[in-house]
Amino acid sequence: MNLKLLHPASWKDYELIDSGNGQKLERFGKFILVRPEPQAIWSKVLPEKEWSSLAHAQFDREQKDRFRFSDEVKGGWTRSKGMPESWQVQYHYGNLNLTLRLALTSFGHVGVFPEQGENWNFIYDTIKGWKSEHIRVLNLFAYTGAASVVARSAGAEVTHVDASRPGLNWANENMRLNNLSDIRWVYEDAFKFVKREAKRGNKYNGIIMDPPPYGRGPEGEKWTLQEQLNELIGMSSRLLESKNRFFILSMYAVGLSPLVGLNVAKTHFDMKEPDCGEFYLASKNNRDLPMGTFLRFAS
């Protein structure tokens, strides 16, 4: 097993222009945004004046330490004239043509993590490669549903689980933007859902999970990645079919090695040739930006 680096190659509607001094300058479609980025501890390549002249909107956090984000985000967007609250971008890969709604959220996100593009390709290729009519996919901590839409586009039956009502509504809109239907929406704590599914003996061909470092469920359930990930993956292993199966784990906890996810997965899965490593965003200004870690396999 070799550690790998993944980045979203040839996505015309996304570009990391520059990063540094705790910020990143990105283009989503025709709009350019400035957002905080705690891992960008180096100096910017482009001058501040160019950042200011290019940006259509900037998100600032109200905190003294820009390199450590707390769970309570305080801050907001400064928008230029003509910058909308929401817009759409396109993602194309082979026969996959994806439309995604983006928006300026109160916590600084826009509804998509561009580095996940390589996982979308993996999901689409894997499901299409099986050539089966009965593929079931479970997407946990599913956010605005890009991976769910990709799996549904490939022909899978999809169960999308998230503890955020706004997130579920956003994912539903992404489904409709792509002329799809019949994704199963589950508003519940992912840990509780998996535990119940394991007791029921339900099975899935694919499991996707993107657990946050910490969070709360609909009923105040506490989630802490480092305390509960091992148990969650252990329960999830009982849900995965023995063949025609795939598993994807993404983690964005700063400081966690890719080997953490690999070792947890080794504890519960019999894997052959898993992919493991880091996501990053490639920059045309030669400051590639690390974004998180991944573990995935298919058989």
Q: Which residue has the higher pLDDT, 219 or 130?
A: 130
pLDDT tens-digit profile of 66-109?
Answer: 555 454 556 799 999 889 999 999 999 999 999 999 999 998 99
Structure confidence at residue 133 (pLDDT)? 81
| H/E stretch holding 125 | helix 117-130
DSSP 204: B
The model's confidence at residue 132, banded by pLDDT at 50, 70 and 90, is: confident
What is the pLDDT of the chain when averaged over all its residues? 92
Contact 186, 159 (CB under 8 A): yes
pLDDT tens-digit profile of 82-93?
Answer: 899 999 999 999
Q: What's the CA gap between 215 and 224, in Å, rounded?
A: 7
Structure confidence at residue 291 (pLDDT)? 93
- N- to C-terminal Cα distance for the chain? 16
Structure confidence at residue 253 (pLDDT)? 83
Q: What's the CA gap between 206 and 134, in Å, rounded?
A: 12
Domains and their CATH numbers in the chain: 3-87 (2.60.40.1180), 113-298 (3.40.50.150)
Structure confidence at residue 66 (pLDDT)? 53
Structure confidence at residue 32 (pLDDT)? 98
Q: Is the dihedral of CA 191, 196, 197, 198 positive or negative?
A: positive
Structure confidence at residue 224 (pLDDT)? 85
Nearest by Cα to 139 from 159, 168, 123: 159
Structure confidence at residue 34 (pLDDT)? 98
Structure confidence at residue 2 (pLDDT)? 56
